[in-house]
Structure 1
């Protein structure tokens, strides 16, 4: 593992993968924050100590909470493939400049996507950041396949 960490591409990958994974993990507490501040809970046990009338008010969906949950779901659908394909890509020995371009674009897209989703920026801002991030994953996947089939 120490030898692998001497590889600049692998170090760059671990840095950017850690950034997007941590961002994704922080969506959980953000969802909890929105649930608490909007008074919107999903489970009976979350409001167990409340009166029946209060329970009816609190056990409901709220648009802001659902927006954060959808953003988190979108992270799960994109960050996990980035980490898996990015790892394979880093292990194929790409040029550092190319790898950095892929990793930085994807990370920037995910950060912007979250800001666009949570602050409700007008489309196509969120959509474009999603598509660009997916293109990065596809580009890395193509590079991996191209490298493997040329061996």
Structure 2
């Protein structure tokens, strides 16, 4: 009987992917916690019951910086989740470790820079550049997956 778990974990490319995937998920958690902390500090709650618990209905309101944090988190969801899918499948296509690591590293660094640019906020086009560069490895992985699949079709 083949133990596929051992094969996956022993794959250097898949292990590299898992490393960056976990870092990205951790980064998403950090942004989520930061959003909650900013919400508490700014006393700007999205739900009336939360506002009542923290001082009254006057705190059932929006705050520009809370909304900025929420948008950063939402943007992570829109971009990191597809990366997780693409990276996992790409890892199974047998790419070279150095090329795979470059894909994962570029995406990770750009997503960190994107979040920093969003939260500080940095002058445009810092955030857009980080976003655009992060899309390059995703498109590359998608194309390589399709080529790999078409070879077996």
Considering the TM-score relative to the shorter chain, is it more than 0.5?
yes
Larger relative CO (CA 8 A, sep 6+): 1 or 2? 1
TM-score of the superposed pair, with normalisation by structure 1:
0.94
Aligned partners of 1:13, 1:141: CA distance in 2, in Å? 15
User: Which deviations, in whole Å up to 9, do the C-alpha atoms of 1:10-56 show, x marking residues without a partner?
Assistant: 000000011101111222211110001111111011022466xx422
Aligned partners of 2:53, 2:10: CA distance in 1, in Å? 54
Give unmatched runs, 5+ long, in structure 2.
none
Aligned partners of 2:142, 2:72: CA distance in 1, in Å? 24
Q: Could you list the runs of 4 or more consecutive aligned residues of structure 1 that deviate by over 2 angstroms after TM superposition?
A: 47-51
Across the two proteins, how many residue pairs are aligned to each other?
Answer: 148
Give unmatched runs, 5+ long, in structure 1.
none
Which residue number corresponds to residue 134 of structure 1?
A: 135
Cα contact 2:111–2:131 (8 A) shared by 1:
yes
Aligned partners of 2:54, 2:27: CA distance in 1, in Å? 33
Cα contact 2:39–2:45 (8 A) shared by 1:
yes
TM-score of the superposed pair, with normalisation by structure 2:
0.93
Aligned partners of 1:49, 1:134: CA distance in 2, in Å? 41
